[in-house]
Amino acid sequence: MRTSALGLLAATAALAIAASTAHAADLPGRYSPAPAYNALPVFTWTGFYAGLNAGYGWNVGDSRYYDPAFRNGKRSGGFVGGVQAGYNYQFGMFVGGLETDLQYAAVGNKGASYGTTYYPGDSDGFFGTIRARAGVAVDRALVYGTGGFAYGDIGGNRGYDTLLGYHSGDEINWGWTLGGGVEYAITNNFTAKVEGLYVDLDTKDNYTLGGRVNVDRDAEFGVLRAGVNYKFN
């Protein structure tokens, strides 16, 4: 009798433990599941872009005696502004690309001079560049150098010069440019930059005797400008 009672008690206890274990398995866990991880998109400089810029240009040449654009006593600097467009390609931390821009430039009077006589022209001009860019990206900041081909109608293009002859109209001159800058991605699409350029345009051959006299009439000027770009995805 006692043996039967003990067996019944043991069986009851086993059933209770099994039921308790099953119930515990149905209860929610004490720890929440690990949250899903959504990685933020990594910014890249790769892509096409276009934008606007504005700044200041000034004479940096040392042969201005016969140069009408930056002669002493005349305006030697002024507003520069325009548009730019280009393409970047990023590989690792390095960025390479091409950029072209077209600028209005009021950097000097376009006329002619000889000795103390000045034959004024107008102060409006333009220039453009086609440049390679190469730099290093640190997160959203890009530090780069740039250089390439330049063209424009800036100085030494109008009026009468008693030494070099007569030239009656505007002409596009050719040259080169070199510079650098810093650009920062404010968002994935908008960037802002500060850039400096040195531009050298050969203007001496615009005059009848320019090649024979070999007077250096290059329009040499610096440009400091700020700009914004929209980067296309």
Distance between CA atoms of residues 88 and 132, nearest Å: 10
**What is the chain's percent helix, strand, coil content, to nearest 5?**
15, 55, 35
* pLDDT the model gives residue 24: 47
- What are the structure tokens assigned to 33, written together? 């599941």
Longest dimension (CA), the chain: 141
- pLDDT of 107 reads 79
pLDDT value for 73: 40
Convert the pLDDT of each residue in 161-202 to its tens digit. 555 555 545 678 889 999 999 999 999 999 999 999 999 887
What integer pLDDT is reported at residue 43 of this predicted model? 87
Name beta bridge partners: 144: 135, 181
Block means of pLDDT (10 residues each) for the chain, length 233 residues? 51 55 52 59 90 91 46 64 97 96 81 54 80 96 97 64 52 90 96 96 58 58 96 90
Planar angle of CA 70, 201, 171, nearest 5 degrees: 90
The full set of domains in the chain, from first to last, is: 47-231 (2.40.160.20)
In sign, the C-alpha dihedral spanning 225, 94, 148, 52 is: negative
- What distance in Å separates the CA atoms of residue 33 and residue 35, rounded to the nearest whole number? 6
What pLDDT, on a 0 to 100 scale, did the predictor assign at position 228?
A: 98
Tell me the C-alpha distance between 223 and 84, whole Å. Answer: 14
